[in-house]
Chain A
Amino acid sequence: MGRKFPLAVCFLFGVVMFIQYFSQSTAARNLNQTILDYWQIVFAFTLIVGVFSFFKNNVTHISRGADRPYRVVGLIGFCSMPILALIWGIKADTPFMWMFENVQAPMQSTVFALLAFFVASASFRGFRARSLPAAVLLISALLMLLSRSNIGGYFSSGLPEVANWVRDYPSMAARRAILIGIGLGSLTTSLRVIIGIERTWLGGEK
């Protein structure tokens, strides 16, 4: 029961979802939609388990005194969203959306913007044309950076066309090879999971 039943469930739903792809019948379409809806529901429960875990973990740390002020702020932010949604709803111009637009969105985009500095400083330290492949990497990166900024126009008016060609052909060729690799890798992993060869998702315990 501990391992065999979950493996059987995995096999059953894997085979059903695989087979239904080859059928155009209404019954197969409905079955597909129903299982996808169920999947979303179970995923939502999984997410709530994670949220509960976050809450529990923070409360434990606060009671121990570790990073107390920060964790309290985190919990206040966390609790405020469901409370605001419960009282005023989640439509436009509600306090819930105000929090999203004026607290969450600005901070989120600033964190993303911060990465520009770290990527740039990492590349400054890491980009050394020590070998031919490293030089190719450096040149293609510089080409993209220059062609997508105003400064590129000062060097050559044809720079954007060259950059577009590099992006659309040699770069695209490597991208496609990587995507094919990902596709074949995912396919074999999925097959291993359904057949029951790959069992790491069951965890270590009996």
Chain B
Amino acid sequence: MEMGTIIAGILTLAILSFLYRDNPIYKMAEYLLIGVSIGYVLVITWTNTLMSLLFVPLFAGSDLWLIIPLILGLLMWARFHKNIASLSRIPIGFMIGSGAGVAIPAMLYGRTLRQLSASVTPLVDSSGVPNISGIVVIAGLLTTLSYFYFSREHKGHFGRLAKVGTFFLMVFFGTTFGYTVMSRMSTFIGRMEFLLTDFLRLAN
């Protein structure tokens, strides 16, 4: 058996031991996972971002404009010195500002207008038959939106509308929950398959 399979099998069992209760073996594996994951992210960030976008073009390609993000990045380290800690707000301001600027049109288009246009479908088809699914979508959208409208008290007709919205929300939460459980379950089946076939060799 390959060394990699043995290590992966032991670590999988170490994590699964949490099903019994919190124990030192699980904790050891948990800390190892955190350490290795952070090390992995560090290496990938260094290689894919800092080397390819900053250091190679700056020092080998002589793109001197890249001194700007380099200085901004270095200012982040000012956080560790109390006297100059406020300087780290400058790169944060750059990131927050440019992120917000990008987010406005993206959110307006992707999250709002596209969702609205996808919901507006013909409610009666060409032969005069009502489009039940389309009616359900429009009703669900309007009632759920009215549930999230808090500038008016949920009373009277508006309150009843919002109440219908909660049913649509419950359907959404239920389906999302079902999908989440099933996706986790399929991951678990994958791990069990690995343990039984590759590691313990109890099944083909």
Q: Are A99 and B36 in contact (CB under 8 A)?
A: yes
Residues of A within 8 A of B40 (CB): 81, 99-100, 104
B180 contacts chain A at the CB level, 8 A cutoff: yes
Residues of B within 8 A of A39 (CB): 94-95, 98-99
Residues of A within 8 A of B56 (CB): none
Q: Are A201 and B43 in contact (CB under 8 A)?
A: no
The CA of A167 and the CA of B178, in the complex, are separated in Å by: 11
User: How many of A's residues come within 8 Å of B, CB to CB?
Assistant: 123
Per-position contact with B for A79-109: 1 when CB-CB < 8 Å, else 0? 1111001000010000010111111101111
A-B interface pairs (CB < 8 A), number = 398
Closest to A12 in B: B97
Q: Are A42 and B168 in contact (CB under 8 A)?
A: no
Q: Are A103 and B36 in contact (CB under 8 A)?
A: yes
Known: A47-B45, A170-B171, A194-B101. A107 touches B12 (CB 8 A): yes
CB distance from B35 to the nearest CB of A (A): 3
A69, A115, A171: which contacts B175 (Cβ < 8 A)? Answer: A171
Q: Are A42 and B31 in contact (CB under 8 A)?
A: no
Q: Are A174 and B169 in contact (CB under 8 A)?
A: yes
B86, B94, B141: which contacts A176 (Cβ < 8 A)? Answer: B141
A116, A133, A144: which contacts B166 (Cβ < 8 A)? Answer: A133
A16 contacts chain B at the CB level, 8 A cutoff: yes
- A85-143 residues with Cβ-Cβ distance < 8 A to B are 85, 90, 96, 98-104, 106-117, 119-120, 123, 132-134, 136-143
Residues of B within 8 A of A8 (CB): 93
A42, A74, A119, A193: which contacts B181 (Cβ < 8 A)? Answer: A119
Q: Are A80 and B36 in contact (CB under 8 A)?
A: yes
Per-position contact with A for B151-164: 1 when CB-CB < 8 Å, else 0? 00000000000000
Closest to B10 in A: A106
Interface of A is mostly: helix
Known: A49-B77, A141-B175, A205-B86. A110 touches B12 (CB 8 A): yes
- B127-184 residues with Cβ-Cβ distance < 8 A to A are 133, 136-141, 144-145, 147-148, 165-182, 184
CB distance from B88 to the nearest CB of A (A): 8
Q: Are A14 and B98 in contact (CB under 8 A)?
A: yes
Give the residue among B4, B9, B73, B175 with the most A Cβ atoms within 10 A.
B175
- Contact sample, A vs B, 6 pairs, CB 8 Å cutoff: A10-B100, A18-B105, A73-B31, A141-B181, A142-B174, A177-B144
Q: Which 6 A-B pairs have the closest CB atoms?
A: A144-B178, A173-B140, A183-B111, A81-B39, A17-B101, A140-B174
| A interface, CB within 8 angstroms of B | 1-3, 5-18, 21-22, 34-49, 51, 54, 67, 69-71, 73-82, 85, 90, 96, 98-104, 106-117, 119-120, 123, 132-134, 136-145, 148-149, 165-184, 186-187, 189-191, 193-194, 201-203, 205-206
